[in-house]
Copies of this chain bind each other. A is one copy, B any other.
Amino acid sequence: MFCGILFLSIAATLINLSVAGVADNRVDSYSSQNDGSCTLPDALLQEIRGYQPIVNKIVDKIVNGEFSGRTWDSLAELVDTFGARVAGSEQLEKAIDYVVEKMQADGLENVHTENATVPHWVRGYESAELVKPFRKVLPLLGLGSSVGTPRGGIIAEVLAVESFKEFEAIPPEQVRGKIVVFCPAWEGYGRTVVYRSQAASVASRKGAVAALVRSITPFSIGSPHTGQQHYQDDVKKIPVACITVEDAQMLLRKYRRGESMEIHLEMEDRQMEPVVSRNTIGELVGTMVSNTSVVIVSGHLDSWDVGVGAMDDGGGALISWKALTYLKAMGLRPRRTIRAILWTGEEEGLYGGAAYKEAHKAQEVKEFNFFFESDIGTFEPKGLDFVGNADAECIFREIVKLMAPLNATEFATPTDGGPDISHWTTRGFPGASLLNKNEKYFWFHHSAGDTMAVEDLKNLDKCAALWAAAAYVVADLSISMPKDVHP
């Protein structure tokens, strides 16, 4: 998951601008009250409730039946075969080819890829060592887009602070030539990740030669975490990496005791020319193709270059792909087409989604009915996070209630997940993200710990079942999901 998910909360405050041009709306108005209660027409309510037997069947087949365990096995085979799949890498493109082939073998329809230009940043040799007052290796991970050091590295004095606010008060002459260590307290991902994305720019502005940041995680077993960072336009690009929580705290304590410290930092990281990658797409074509829009289920196939991206976002990609596989195998074909999209280049800044948006812009209002995205873990599912207008919300609240057999009827809005679909959901398209028991998500996020060990076989079945069932119902409803699209 890229930090772009922050933008999504904005969606909640969007004003409904227009009634979307949907093909088969039967109802004119039904809206969510301030207390969350809805006044849906009885016919629609009964229609939605009528999907319970189909939902039950989907859940049973995926969780207890012939598909049980298959999602985990497929995910394991994918990540064991290709490992990490960072944008620009051969492994990502090989994985895309493999998914295309497997989607075809699964019987998905219109399987194809669509190009997306993505950044190509390469991690080279990386090493950090405290060399004064004693020697200690500091495990680190350079941040996406970071420049490297000169060959042989740099040795510089350490200045350590807890916060940007603390750093603000320090005059530039005390910063110049130093390696600045930022050790912010964990205040949740959204608030803390600014240190990862901005540390280099903030430090560089006062003449620092490099920045080291406490990994953006609430819990650590000596594990550094990577992620994207951004140089502001007007600063000198300096190397930036995350070190472990433990080492950052140690350096801060030592600095505050007045100790003089030096770090030897070497990073061969470098930004290459952008390359063309691909979003990977497969469909379950609806029974009523003409004049209806499609329901998207999605996750991203790319990952960071550490760990193997089983959690971020192999799980989300797999349930999106396999939802279609299982529905097809069960002979369940909804009115509308369900389209699985496995985004590329998400981690560096939602590049796959951006390219897809551009390519489909002319027809987007007509083309897209609803967007699902799973990119905040596939732990035990709890329900669905929604974003969209009040009418769509009313419908979606009823759909979520159908997930009772999975004990996953929690509804929340606005959505807190769904970075790639934010290209649409921030502009009035309705969408949803998978609510799951992801309290430990950031323990593993962008680290060597993002592996199959995080994924539970039974929970992955449940997430796949929820995904398949929710997508089926939305895609099969007699009406399109209401939307108020604005440019």
Binding site for B on A (CB under 8 A): 76-77, 79-84, 91, 133-134, 136, 139, 219-223, 244-247, 249-250, 253-254, 257, 306-308, 443-444, 447-449, 451-453
Contacts and interface: CB of A to CB of B under 8 A. Distances in A.
A222 B80 CA distance: 15
Given A222-B223, A444-B221, A134 B82 contact: yes
A447 to B, nearest CB: 6
16 contacts: A77-B257, A80-B254, A83-B134, A139-B448, A220-B449, A221-B447, A221-B449, A222-B447, A222-B449, A223-B448, A246-B307, A246-B448, A246-B449, A246-B451, A249-B453, A250-B308
Closest 10 CB pairs of A and B: A222-B448, A221-B449, A246-B451, A222-B449, A221-B223, A221-B221, A246-B453, A83-B136, A80-B254, A80-B250
A451 to B, nearest CB: 4
A220 B254 contact: no
A134 B91 contact: yes
A80 B307 CA distance: 29
A188 B449 CA distance: 21
B250 A443 contact: no
The residue among A77, A81, A449 with the most chain B CB atoms within 10 A of its own CB is A449
Contact of A250 (B220, B253, B452): B452
A245 B220 CA distance: 16
A80 B246 CA distance: 11
A221 B448 contact: yes
A356 B443 CA distance: 43
Contacts of A84: 136
The residue among A76, A221, A249 with the most chain B CB atoms within 10 A of its own CB is A221
A245 B453 CA distance: 8
A452 B253 CA distance: 11
A82 B133 CA distance: 9
Given A244-B448, A448-B244, A220 B453 contact: yes
A78 to B, nearest CB: 12
Given A246-B451, A249-B452, A452-B249, A221 B443 contact: yes
Contacts of A219: 221
Given A134-B82, A448-B244, A253 B76 contact: yes
A249 B307 CA distance: 13
Contacts of A91: 134
Contacts of A443: 221
A437 B220 CA distance: 19
A82 B259 CA distance: 13
A134 B95 CA distance: 12
A92 to B, nearest CB: 12
A451 B83 contact: no
B250 A451 contact: yes
A470 to B, nearest CB: 30
Nearest to A310: B246
A423 B59 CA distance: 59
Contacts of A451: 222, 246-247, 249-250
B452 A246 contact: yes
A201 to B, nearest CB: 28
A139 B448 CA distance: 9
The residue among A82, A443, A453 with the most chain B CB atoms within 10 A of its own CB is A453
A91 B136 CA distance: 11
A211 to B, nearest CB: 21
Contacts of A244: 448
A308 B84 CA distance: 30
Contacts of A247: 451
A314 B80 CA distance: 39
The residue among A79, A222, A247, A453 with the most chain B CB atoms within 10 A of its own CB is A222
Nearest to A245: B453
Contacts of A136: 83-84
Nearest to A133: B81
Nearest to A79: B250
A294 B104 CA distance: 77
Contacts of A134: 81-83, 91
A90 to B, nearest CB: 9
A222 B307 contact: yes
A240 to B, nearest CB: 21
